[in-house]
Amino acid sequence: MSKIDLEIRQEPRDRLFFDQYQYRMQFRLRFAWCMRSLDHGDLDRRLTNYHGRYRAGADALYPADRETHANLHNMCDLLRALPASCKIMIQYDQVFLYTNELGTLAYMSRVYYIDRIMTGEAVAVYPRNTVMLQNPVHQYRTFLKSQWWDLDTSARVKKFLLGRQDLFRIPKSFREKLERPGRLATRDHHFVDHDDPDLLLMLSLVCPGIINKTLPIQAK
C-alpha cells in the first residue's frame, strides 16, 4: 500500500513527531480509554465498572456492546503485536500511533471496526525552536508554565498583562481567562507575543517562575 492509497497528509514542522517518528496515525474506537494498559484483564475490569455504573448491571449488555468489547480485545492484541519502536497513545476514544514504518499504518488501516482515520507525515522544513506565522506582527512568543497561582499572584499577573495589551498580543481564550475573577491557572499552551525582551524581566518580577520558554517568531 502506497502513501497515496493511505492518503497521508504532509505536515510541515520543525522536527519529526516527538523528534523521532516520521508517520502518525489517529483513529476512533469507542471505549478505547479502557485499554490503556493493553491488558485484557484490566480492560474487562474497566468495562465492567463502566456498565455497572451507567447500566442496570455488568450483565445488562446489548448485542452491540458485546461486539464492541470483542473489538477492544482484538485491538489490544493488535497493538501489543506492533513493533516495540511504535509509540502508542490513547486519549478517550482516540488511539494515536507514531512510527517510522509505513507498513504499520497500512496494516492498521485495514482494521474494519475503526473509523475517522487520519494519517500524517512529518516534513521538517522549518527551523527548530521557532514559531512560524503568516504575516507575524511580533518578534517573540513566550509560553507560560502550567500552575495554579494564589489570589495575590493571580491579581498581579492579570493586572500586568491586561494593562499592557498594547505591548503583548494575548490570544482571545487566554485573555478571557485573565478577565475572570479568582485564582489564575496558567497552562503550558498559554502564550503571549511581544517585541521587547525586557518585558519578560518585568513579568518575572511580578510572578517569579511563570515563564516556561521564549521562541523567536519568523514569517512562513
Helix (H) / strand (E) containing 77: helix 63-80
Contacts of 17 (CB under 8 A, 6+ apart): 23, 24, 98, 122
pLDDT, tens only, 57-68: 445 555 457 888
Do the beta carbons of residue 176 and residue 147 sit within 8 Å? no
Evaluate if pTM is beyond 0.75: no
pLDDT, tens only, 119-161: 999 998 888 889 988 899 999 999 999 999 999 999 999 999 9
pLDDT, mean of residues 8-18? 91
44: Cα within 13 Å, side-chain hemisphere: 4
The CA distances from residue 169 to 136, 162, 165, 179, 197, in Å, are: 11, 10, 6, 15, 14
